[in-house]
Amino acid sequence: MKNTWKTYDTGPFYDELVTAAGKPRVAARRAVNLFKDLSVEEMSARRSAAEMAILDMGISFTVYSEGENIDRAWPFDMIPRIITAKDWARVSRGLAQRTRALNAFIDDVYNRQKILKDGIVPAETVLESGNYKEQCAGMSPRYGAWAHICGTDLVRDKDGKFYVLEDNLRVPSGVSYMLENREITKRVLPELFENYSIQPVDDYPSRLYSTLASLSPRERRRPCIVVLTPGIYNSAYFEHSFLARGMGAELVEGSDLFVDDDDCLYMRTVDGPERVDVVYRRIDDDFLDPEAFREDSILGVPGIMRAWKARNVAIANAPGAGVADDKVVYAFVPDMIRYYLKEEPAIDSVKTYLCMKEKDREYVLENLDKLVVKPANESGGYGMMVGPHASKTQRAKFAKLIEKNPRNYIAQPTLSLSTAPTYIDDKVEPRHLDLRPFILSGRDTWVTPGGLTRVAMVKGSLVVNSSQGGGSKDTWIVEGSK
């Protein structure tokens, strides 16, 4: 029998399931032992079963290439990532705290701007950023909640500690895959569940429903909730449809909605117009309302901002929430937590150097070979430089860019992303991963137990995006040893 784990070597990184000495971590012991007992044939049979399940369940994401949309099967690795409930409790508390502070910040920025006046966060970095939407000034949504659905990216460094890499406050996606991954694991490795008590994730759609329902401007037993999608060609369409079905909500496109003279939002049904209470929108601010933002948007709903400001409809996430989703603002989140909540941050951010500060800039320019430099207002890894992997010319180019426009750049130390055992060909090998939990904020705050673990399937790679060959894993939060 060929042992698929024989050559497993964690290298210099923190491994989620295996210690540096090569022993399974306590919480992972049963799982690792079970996998070690499986032959290559059995492992491959399970992998095929997982692939079949993915096809059957129609779990896909859309890739747009050469003018055609291709539905790709969701890439999945069957070895779960296991985190103890004790570890998770701390992370979860930190995430809830962070999200509360971020919401307080957004609410403040669009109203009294106390934090800017007190000089905690420099006013111009906020107010001059493209993420600040003046159309939202003076609004204060229910419960002061703006970022109702927040997807926070976490990584684990060499020291085994979780760090927040970024807060996604606009339209974060991935939660449906978190749920589907659990479904697949149940089908493919049912015996694993006998030895563990794993916190369930499948109540997410009903939690999301309660969060959204709590925002309804009308007190009704079942408020009318819709999921607003840009349509079938969006890469996350599967998720939009999945969540709508999971909540029993209507999946709508911009053309299904209109705002009437009474400043209320309606959807067009075969029985006539029906008033909508809450819109879970999965399109960006810029496309939301051609009257308020981009005029050429055909995805949005003319007048929806009017209806929102008249408090006749709730929009989640609230327009303008992206003001706190910015790499410069990110650096101030620990200060926000202290300022609004009078607490110490329970989860760390990555040390961030702001090139707009003279001292930071000097440090960055001297240490370009050690740092990751990112533009403040880009997402998805565009226009960034990874110092240790960059050429001399690239570093020189970035030095110039920084000196020319310091406010536009931040730098962070290069992190060593943790790894987990991943089944590649017929061997188990370490692969780097991150974690995206989801935090819901409405009347209450709620954090998913675990989240979506994304894996860079290519050896040594740190790119976890599914559009670029990334995969995913089921993420388990397990109770103490049983």
Residues in touch with another protein (CB under 8 A) = 58, 231-232, 241, 244-245, 250-253, 255-256, 258, 260, 266-274
Half-sphere exposure of 183 (CA within 13 A, CB side): 17
Nearer to another protein, 282 or 361 (CB): 282
Q: Where are the alpha helices (DSSP H) in 58-194?
A: 85-109, 114-117, 123-127, 175-188
CB of 213 to another protein, least distance (A): 17
Nearer to another protein, 75 or 273 (CB): 273
Nearer to another protein, 255 or 367 (CB): 255
| Calpha distance 219→217 (Å, rounded) | 7
CB of 231 to another protein, least distance (A): 8
| Calpha distance 188→186 (Å, rounded) | 6
Neighbours of 41 (CB within 10 A): 11
Nearer to another protein, 115 or 264 (CB): 264
Helix 175-188 to helix 204-213 angle (10° resolution) is 150
Query: How far is residue 309 from each of residues 94, 211, 217, measured CA to CA in Å?
Result: 32, 20, 12
| Calpha distance 360→402 (Å, rounded) | 11
CB of 269 to another protein, least distance (A): 5
Nearer to another protein, 119 or 272 (CB): 272
Nearer to another protein, 125 or 173 (CB): 173
Nearer to another protein, 102 or 228 (CB): 228
Residues 6+ apart with CB under 8 A from 91: 154, 162, 347, 437
CB of 250 to another protein, least distance (A): 6
CB 264 within 8 A of CB 312: yes
Nearer to another protein, 260 or 369 (CB): 260
CB of 247 to another protein, least distance (A): 11
Q: What angle do CA 10, 12, 14 make, to 5 degrees?
A: 65
CB of 241 to another protein, least distance (A): 6
**Edge-to-edge strands of the sheet including 353-354?**
353-354, 409-413, 371-375, 385-386
Nearer to another protein, 122 or 302 (CB): 302
CB of 283 to another protein, least distance (A): 16
Per-residue DSSP letter, 385: E
Query: How far is residue 292 from each of residues 133, 301, 338, measured CA to CA in Å?
Result: 10, 10, 34
CB 208 within 8 A of CB 191: no
CB of 271 to another protein, least distance (A): 6
| Calpha distance 401→259 (Å, rounded) | 45
Nearer to another protein, 88 or 242 (CB): 242
CB of 413 to another protein, least distance (A): 46
CB of 365 to another protein, least distance (A): 52
CB 106 within 8 A of CB 321: yes
CB 107 within 8 A of CB 277: no
If you write DSSP's letter for every residue of 20-48 in order, what string do you get? TTSPBPGGGHHHHHHHHHS-HHHHHHHHH
